[in-house]
Amino acid sequence: MAAIPSFSDRERYVRELGEFLRIPSVSREPEHRHDLDAAAAWVAGQLTFAGGRVVETAGHPIVLGEWLGAPGAPTILVYGHYDVQPAGDETGWESPPFEPAVRGGRVYARGATDDKGPVLVALKVAQAFAEQDGGLPLNVRFLVEGEEEIGSPSLPAFLEQHRDELAADLVVSADGAMWRPTEPSIAISAKGLVGLDIVVSGPRIDLHSGRHGGAVQNPNHALARILASLHTPEGAVAVPGFYDGVAPLGEADRAALARVPFDDEAYRRDVAAVPALHGEPGFTTLERLWIRPTLEVNGIAGGGPFTVIPGRATAHVTCRLVPDQRPDAILGAIAAHVGAHRPPGVEVEIVPQPGAVPAYSIPADHPAIAEAEAALRAVYPDREPLLVRMGGTLPAAVLFERILGLKTLLFSFSTGDEQLHAPNEFFRLSRLEEGMRAWAELWLRLAAERVLRGASRI
Amino acid sequence: MAAIPSFSDRERYVRELGEFLRIPSVSREPEHRHDLDAAAAWVAGQLTFAGGRVVETAGHPIVLGEWLGAPGAPTILVYGHYDVQPAGDETGWESPPFEPAVRGGRVYARGATDDKGPVLVALKVAQAFAEQDGGLPLNVRFLVEGEEEIGSPSLPAFLEQHRDELAADLVVSADGAMWRPTEPSIAISAKGLVGLDIVVSGPRIDLHSGRHGGAVQNPNHALARILASLHTPEGAVAVPGFYDGVAPLGEADRAALARVPFDDEAYRRDVAAVPALHGEPGFTTLERLWIRPTLEVNGIAGGGPFTVIPGRATAHVTCRLVPDQRPDAILGAIAAHVGAHRPPGVEVEIVPQPGAVPAYSIPADHPAIAEAEAALRAVYPDREPLLVRMGGTLPAAVLFERILGLKTLLFSFSTGDEQLHAPNEFFRLSRLEEGMRAWAELWLRLAAERVLRGASRI
């Protein structure tokens, strides 16, 4: 096995991360298009040894590159994204979002942890191997996109069109996040997502509630009745068919989850900050978060603080799905349930939202998981890595599986508490070196992993 | 009995109404304070024969005046208001809201029907008697306020402080509205109003619905469950005690209401514009609108169209009350009901809103009602006047009763369809002359009405 590079030049890593973070590559705001181009060019510039290039799409460009000089070794596809969320309310930031500031061993900036810091880790590992050994320990393709924060709309067609160019044995993703700062972890599943609006229409215009109150169905009342029917009072989803096909939790799964350190009271007090936890009966909090599908009413709106019977009332609903739940079947089940519970005197419409994503998972016994665990053990010898689950979605991983037939190993050195999508986003600088060492370990191990060498071997 | 003046100078009435309407006396907008002063001065100028004067209050001024030269005759207190609603969205107006425009026998302007047209009617009747006879047929005091559209906050203290100056036998209000343009009507009751917010608090901040969904009670779910509990599916209010003390509807009441022409299908289609009417079982639509108390959720808000579990969800609720329902008792009943239905895992707070008003009513056999009916018959000989009820509130009438011990006769020549509080508010010019003739008839009749002459006779 080749040697791990030293990764001793922290000053340079921080300086270059600063350059990357100073580019406000906000994918949701059209006026930043030139910043997206600049960020893509910056990434391509880091990949000159691998033929790094910017490829146009229907949306923001995708950066590709490849180093394929390890015949007989597996090929991995490294995934990340150079786009960032909008800064949001800038008054909430202690330092400006696009002027990276180092405080207390952390770099604060929009995109620091999602996903520019973790992308830098992957780029620097490749560069370090190339400098040290004149090549990489295995074949590596790079795909760094610029639309992750807006749902990767151009990625499906791009993957279809570049299927051959992207042939590999495994995707290794620099996106994702470790569960907690104190416990090294690998996420082995992510929930799916399906969203819909429920629109209740009553009078054509808002009516005066004094002149007309009592004679017509109030859309707010009708919506409340529909929404109240979606769950049992105890907290289970009451939509018939919602749990169809959901695998029951076996004793082995339960035992595995029970071994994950999780303190309900600390979670209640510090994370959720609620008077009491509440959820589907018969499951622990961790089971509810990781294994069970959910239905949440994210938004309700109708009328206002004045004396009207509003013309309409709406709810935005999203479900988090687990494997074997099909988004379209869930949508159908909810539509049927709402239809069966439609109160009199109003019209009720179900408006499916775009961007439904099924759940993603990689088997806990996939060979890449064992190598990833070993790589984490090498960097964090005192802490046994945890296999965790995500409540969020991984649209890109679902696309890689569907279009390229590849499983994705999530190997990000972002941490879930680093203010993703919020003001004062940060990235722990210690994760830079830890991440590089772990990625280097992983690559060396995957290079020797015979099981991975599949049909795509070059 | 003295003669009715001729009221033939329509050109002058329209010109003077135009002057009044051109003053943008919007009580809700502080920048219009000088316009409120100007409108008050304009009204006082119309009352020079009655010592018209502008009296300051803690808020906008009140115009007072009195002509007390009819010893032995009753004294009436004429009520109206010179303030108007904001114009709202000016793009919705066909002509500018403060540039009165006559089209098709109507004058269009903010305040035309609420309440400047009807106030002009009362002022011109007094002037016409004074010019014709050198005095009025009965003793008349005037009180024209400038805060009706903001809930008359200065009126209670003003009535307390000027109790002696305002002694009378009856209030005759130029505010209020006839039910429909085709049927002369007198409103004999108005519902009361009590409002409250229901605030459901869960997590201290909005939580990501992927990371935390399923583990905490969602305030939107909890609020929906509470709101759904407030009514039966059939449409009755389900709050224990809500109907306590509400007089059952006797056969005579039912028969009287059944005689009021009311077409459910036309109301459903043209006024409410809903797929089907809906309301408390066992009552007709008119009974629901006029006689039965209601509880309406006017507004709901929580989260939005993004993947959160919101930190809080709120509802704005108002109840329309009938006689013998006490606002504070209703508030207590709702608070107790919500407390009994509080879902687990959230805090629920009831926040009473200011401005609770009990119901107002004047007995159908009050002598002023018979005189008002006779006055309407004199002007509209072909149409028998209807006694109607209002779903809206009459805070001023409640105050006159509570503080001055006076019943209020609503004798407005505004009509309910004249776009009150909406763009393109208008007043039918035909109502000017009809109103003047009816008010003159009424004054002559009240002058001869012995029953009215009570303790306040001068």
Summarised one tens digit per residue, pLDDT across range A190-235 is 999 999 999 999 999 899 898 899 999 999 999 999 999 999 999 9
Chain A interface disruption, residue of B211, B246, B268, B421, most A CBs within 10 A: B211
* Residue from the list A211, A224, A298 with its beta carbon closest to the beta carbon of B306: A298
Among candidates A274, A275, A293, A273, which has minimal Cα distance to A283?
A293
- Mean pLDDT of the region A424-430: 96
Chain B interface disruption, residue of A191, A207, A227, most B CBs within 10 A: A227
* Residue from the list A215, A301, A392 with its beta carbon closest to the beta carbon of B210: A392
Contact B289 A214 (CB under 8 A): yes
Distance from C-alpha of A308 to C-alpha of A300, rounded to nearest angstrom: 17
Instruction: Give the Å distances, CA to CA, from A44 to A35, A49, A400.
Output: 14, 10, 22
Closest alpha carbon within chain B to A394: B210
Chain A residues touching residue B288 (CB < 8 angstroms): 214-215
At residue A379, does pLDDT exceed 70? yes
Number of Cβ within 10 Å of residue B390's Cβ equals 24
What pLDDT digit, counting tens, does each position of A43-84 carry?
A: 999 999 999 999 999 999 999 999 999 999 999 999 999 999
CB A149 within 8 A of CB A81: yes
Residue B1: the pLDDT is 55
b/e map of A427-458 (b: 16 or more CB within 10 Å)? bbbebbbbbbbbbbbbbbbbbebeebeeebee
Chain A residues touching residue B210 (CB < 8 angstroms): 191, 193, 320, 390-393
Range in A86-95, A133-142, B165-174 the model is least confident about: A86-95
| Residue type present at position B364 | A
Pairing outcome for strands A185-190 and B347-352 = unpaired
Residue B241: the pLDDT is 98
Chain B residues touching residue A415 (CB < 8 angstroms): none
Closest alpha carbon within chain A to B228: A225
- Mean pLDDT of the region A289-295: 95
* Residue from the list B209, B214, B277 with its beta carbon closest to the beta carbon of A280: B214
Pairing outcome for strands A207-208 and B360-361 = unpaired
Q: How far apart are the first and last CA of chain A?
A: 21
At residue A401, does pLDDT exceed 50? yes
Residue B116: the pLDDT is 98
b/e map of A182-211 (b: 16 or more CB within 10 Å)? ebbbbbbbbbbbbbbebbbbbbeebbbbbb
Chain B residues touching residue A347 (CB < 8 angstroms): 275
Chain A residues touching residue B208 (CB < 8 angstroms): 391-392
| C-alpha Rg value of chain B to the nearest Å | 24
Residue A151: the pLDDT is 87
Among candidates A277, A113, A82, A255, which has minimal Cα distance to A181?
A113
* Residue from the list B272, B300, B344 with its beta carbon closest to the beta carbon of A216: B272
Closest alpha carbon within chain B to A269: B203
- Residues above pLDDT 70, as percent of chain A: 98
Instruction: Give the Å distances, CA to CA, from B422 to A206, A224, B54, B196, B298.
Output: 12, 29, 29, 25, 18
> How confident is residue B453, by pLDDT bands cut at 50, 70 and 90?
low
Closest alpha carbon within chain B to A197: B305
Range in A420-424, B186-190, B290-294, B450-454 the model is least confident about: B450-454
What region does A80 belong to: left with phi over 0, alpha with psi -120 to 50, or beta? beta
Among candidates B34, B86, B242, B70, which has minimal Cα distance to B168?
B70
* Residue from the list B221, B289, B391 with its beta carbon closest to the beta carbon of A227: B221
Cis peptide before B115 (omega within 30 of 0): yes
* Residue from the list B195, B302, B318 with its beta carbon closest to the beta carbon of A299: B302
Residue A109: the pLDDT is 98
- The domains of chain B, with CATH numbers, are 10-190+359-447 (3.40.630.10), 192-246+293-352 (3.30.70.360)
What element of type H or E holds A149?
none
Chain B interface disruption, residue of A298, A312, A316, A353, most B CBs within 10 A: A298
> How confident is residue B455, by pLDDT bands cut at 50, 70 and 90?
very low
Closest alpha carbon within chain B to A268: B216
Instruction: Extract the tokens encoding B144.
Output: 């024209």
* Residue from the list B203, B210, B274 with its beta carbon closest to the beta carbon of A320: B210
What's the whole-number average pLDDT of chain A? 94
Instruction: Give the Å distances, CA to CA, from A191 to A322, A381, B209, B286, B308.
Output: 5, 30, 11, 52, 15
| Residue type present at position B310 | P
Chain A interface disruption, residue of B234, B296, B347, most A CBs within 10 A: B296
At residue A1, does pLDDT exceed 60? no
User: How far is the alpha carbon of B127 from chain A, nearest alpha carbon, in Å?
Assistant: 35
Chain B interface disruption, residue of A196, A300, A319, A351, most B CBs within 10 A: A300
User: How far is the alpha carbon of B308 from chain A, nearest alpha carbon, in Å?
Assistant: 5
User: How far is the alpha carbon of B418 from chain A, nearest alpha carbon, in Å?
Assistant: 14
Chain B residues touching residue A282 (CB < 8 angstroms): none
Cis peptide before A206 (omega within 30 of 0): no
Residue A159: the pLDDT is 98
Backbone angles phi, psi at A36, to 5 degrees: -65, -45
CB B221 within 8 A of CB B382: no
Residue A456: the pLDDT is 44
Contact A318 B298 (CB under 8 A): no
What pLDDT digit, counting tens, does each position of B64-103 carry?
A: 999 999 999 999 999 999 999 999 888 889 999 999 999 9
Residue A181: the pLDDT is 86
Closest alpha carbon within chain A to B280: A214
* Residue from the list B294, B300, B303 with its beta carbon closest to the beta carbon of A214: B294
User: How far is the alpha carbon of A360 from chain B, nearest alpha carbon, in Å?
Assistant: 14
> How confident is residue B250, by pLDDT bands cut at 50, 70 and 90?
confident
CB B189 within 8 A of CB A259: no
* Residue from the list B191, B288, B390 with its beta carbon closest to the beta carbon of A215: B288
At residue B454, does pLDDT exceed 80? no
Chain A residues touching residue B195 (CB < 8 angstroms): 307
Instruction: Give the Å distances, CA to CA, from A447 to A65, A73, A126, B307.
Output: 19, 6, 14, 39
Contact B298 A294 (CB under 8 A): no
| Residue type present at position B327 | P
At residue A421, does pLDDT exceed 50? yes
Distance from C-alpha of B150 to C-alpha of A198, rounded to nearest angstrom: 35
User: How far is the alpha carbon of B411 from chain A, nearest alpha carbon, in Å?
Assistant: 19
Closest alpha carbon within chain B to A353: B305
Backbone angles phi, psi at A428, to 5 degrees: -75, 125
What pLDDT digit, counting tens, does each position of B369-388 carry?
A: 999 999 999 999 999 999 99
Backbone angles phi, psi at B320, to 5 degrees: -100, 125
Contact A277 B345 (CB under 8 A): yes
Distance from C-alpha of B294 to C-alpha of A350, rounded to nearest angstrom: 29
Number of Cβ within 10 Å of residue B127's Cβ equals 18
> How confident is residue B188, by pLDDT bands cut at 50, 70 and 90?
very high
User: How far is the alpha carbon of A410 from chain B, nearest alpha carbon, in Å?
Assistant: 17
Task: Give the residue ranges of DSSP H helices in B67-201.
Answer: 117-133, 155-161
Question: In a 3-state reduction of DSSP, which class is residue B290?
Answer: helix
Residue A89: the pLDDT is 80
Q: A416 CB contacts (<8 Å, ≥6 apart)?
A: A177, A178, A179, A180, B211
Contact B298 A304 (CB under 8 A): yes
Contact B216 A299 (CB under 8 A): no
User: How far is the alpha carbon of B392 from chain A, nearest alpha carbon, in Å?
Assistant: 5
User: How far is the alpha carbon of A417 from chain B, nearest alpha carbon, in Å?
Assistant: 11
Residue B256: the pLDDT is 84
Query: Using alpha carbons only, what angle is made at residue A157 by residues A30 and A332, rounded to the nearest 5 degrees?
Result: 90
What pLDDT digit, counting tens, does each position of B383-432 carry?
A: 999 999 988 888 999 999 999 999 999 999 999 889 888 899 999 999 99
Among candidates A51, A76, A49, which has minimal Cα distance to A63?
A51
Contact A215 B278 (CB under 8 A): yes
- Residues above pLDDT 90, as percent of chain B: 83
Please state the pTM of the whole predicted model.
0.88
Closest alpha carbon within chain B to A191: B210
Instruction: Give the Å distances, CA to CA, from A227 to A310, B15, B225, B403.
Output: 17, 56, 8, 46
What element of type H or E holds A344?
none
